[in-house]
Chain A
Amino acid sequence: MFLHDLFDWTNAGVGAAGLALTAGAFWQATGAKKAAQEARDAVWKREAASSLAEIERIAAEFAVWVELERPKEAAVRGRDLAARIPRDRARFERFLNGDSDKLRLLESVYADLAVQVFSTAFLEDKGKLQAAIEDVNAANRELNEVYGRLLGRLDEEES
């Protein structure tokens, strides 16, 4: 009788230990999955920052070619921007928070400017040229702010 109770208790103990180990393994697996998801998100955010850095570089070149009164080179950069911004905006939308709409606006500004500057007559008009330079620089400032905010969020998450 005593031996039978001892077996019962031992079985119950082994069962409880097994359950605890299973629960521990489940908890660890959940944690690992979450960590993997976070790591994937971090890589995507880095990719988004890298894409915005490239867009920022093209925008800086666009401003330079407008200031140098070279319509063909400026128009190429403007069209690059008008093509790349919607692509990267759609790709990284979930990391852009409220800046997605701002990028949509900038995309149309660059597209309009690319059409406008592709005209020697336009660049010969001092008033229009000055307005285009101011518009490009204002758009680039807004783009840099979007890029800066994304980097800021990345820094906060990594610190």
Chain B
Amino acid sequence: MSDRAEDLVKQLLEKTQADKLAWTFVPEAVVDLDWANSEKYRADLEDGFSFSISRKTRNDDKLIDFELTQLGRIILSSQADNLPMLIGPKTRRLLELRNAMRDRDDEKKLAEPIDISKVARFRLFSDLFHAAKQSAVGGDQTIERVQQLLERIG
């Protein structure tokens, strides 16, 4: 299921990949202690509109925030995460029973136990994050430059 934020993210992804939209790195002013790392990028449009995409990580957990703001006021905010789908032993057993029923009844094979919309949403947001990062840092030569500086020191 698509929502307004997903539609916007799709459009931004296309424009970013086509180099029509430039993103910049935004240092985080507030440290979120719940997350180990945080990275944020922003793209500015006319009339004070801005998009931002930030990713917080803790081990393998990732939370991606997407925001549309106008002059600092949040107009639209949306999130996607890759947190494990919470399936307990009872739910797992129910899914196994349903799979067993699906094997007996072909019509039920269309039923899908995995939340594909959550996966698709995370992929969309993550793709925009990576595209924004690529746009902001581009052909980042930081490591090469540091290497040169170290070699110059001798």
Contact = CB atoms under 8 A, between A and B. Distances in A.
Given A68-B122, A69-B126, A61 B60 contact: no
Contacts of B122: 67-69
A92 B82 CA distance: 37
Determine chain A's interface SS by DSSP, over half rule. Answer: helix
B28 to A, nearest CB: 18
B99 interface: yes
Nearest to B81: A68
B134 to A, nearest CB: 7
For the side of the interface on B, what is the size category? 10 to 19
A68 B134 CA distance: 20
A111 interface: no
Which of B60, B62, B103, B130 is most buried by chain A, counting CB atoms within 10 A of its CB? B60
B62 A53 contact: no
Interface string B61-101: 01000000000000000000010100000000000000100
A67 B125 CA distance: 12
Contacts of B126: 69
Contacts of A78: none
Determine chain B's interface SS by DSSP, over half rule. Answer: helix
Contacts of B82: 68-70
B119 interface: yes
Contact of A50 (B60, B103, B134): B103
A126 interface: yes
A64 to B, nearest CB: 6
B149 interface: no
B114 interface: yes
A57 interface: yes
Given A50-B103, A67-B122, A68-B119, 4 more contacts: A49-B103, A53-B103, A57-B99, A69-B60
Interface of B: 60, 62, 82, 84, 99, 103, 114, 119, 122-123, 126, 130, 134
